[in-house]
Amino acid sequence: MLTVTPIPAFTDNYIWMLQNENNQAVIVDPGDAQVVINALDENQLNLVAILITHHHYDHTDGVRALCEKYSIPVYGPKDSKFNGISQTLNDGDNVEVLGHSFKIKSIPGHTLDHISYLYDDPSSPLIFCGDTLFLAGCGRVFEGTMGQMLSAMHYFKSLDKKTKVYCTHEYSLNNLAFAHTVEPDNIDIKDKIVQCKKLRKQNLPTLPSTIENELLINPFLRCDVLNVKQHASAYATQPLDSELGVFSTIRQWKNVF
Ligand SMILES: [Zn+2]
């Protein structure tokens, strides 16, 4: 049995903490060490490993201090610009932590080194997707191509619908405002806006999401839906025939939203 808890960091990051029944913990993307140390101490947990999704500082800056305090492996992508990784992972690898296996998928786009960690337990699957998939959104395409990012979206679409999606930023309300602009008639988006506003009023996270939910509300997973295609074409002032054309248009549209 795995429990996953968010540790809020910076202005809108979540550092995810996994723990098992033996009080062992694994931290995903520790951008800040102190908030992690506080959470471990408060819950009397033993840190046994760190998982890194990509090299950005807000996902990696706490690694050095944590490794000085705890002698632990740091799992992360090969060929990363971050040099604190001790166990490099390739696409298709499986990594064992807390007695459970996580499947590695290379999902370049946001960065070239970006990977995700899938726990595909049939009863409670979950994925750590870093800055690639957000609730109702996706990450900016900084280093890779639009085509690579669209391939990452196809990977998420292929997962079990029950899969819980652990994104690393609280961007949900802004993403939903954009999703509503792309699909003004989508009832699921409207409902989700109401739900997320309630949660944020109580200062609660809107995450995790699920693949099932994202398939209904996330425009970046819905580039093949006629309504999304039509609104993207109107924005681009030309008919967009390919899914990649639609994806690229709405990603650029979101950049200036
Ligand atoms: Zn990032």
List average pLDDT for each run of 10 residues in the chain, which is 257 residues long: 94 96 97 98 97 98 97 97 98 96 98 98 96 98 98 98 97 98 97 98 98 98 97 97 97 97
**Which residue do the tokens 């391939």 mark?**
151
Q: Please give the DSSP secondary-structure letter assigned to residue 169.
A: B
Q: Confirm whether 131 is a catalytic residue.
A: yes
Measured in angstroms, how far is the CA atom of residue 132 from the centroid of ligand 1?
8
pLDDT at 1: 80
pLDDT at 216: 98
Q: In what side-by-side order are the strands of the sheet with 87-89?
A: 3-9, 13-19, 24-28, 46-51, 74-77, 87-89
Q: Confirm whether 169 is a catalytic residue.
A: yes
Q: Confirm whether 100 is a catalytic residue.
A: no
Measured in angstroms, how far is the CA atom of residue 54 from the centroid of ligand 1?
7
Q: Confirm whether 120 is a catalytic residue.
A: no
Rg of the Cα atoms in the chain: 18
Q: What share of the chain is helix, strand, coil (3-state, %, to 5)?
A: 35, 25, 40
Element (DSSP H or E) covering residue 128? strand 126-130
∠37-82-8 over CA atoms, to 5°? 35
Half-sphere CA count of 191, side-chain side, radius 13 A: 7
Record the pTM.
0.97
Please identify every residue whose CB atom is under 5 Å from ligand 1, which is an ion: 56, 131
Query: Is-cis flag, bond preceding 208, omega within 30?
Result: yes
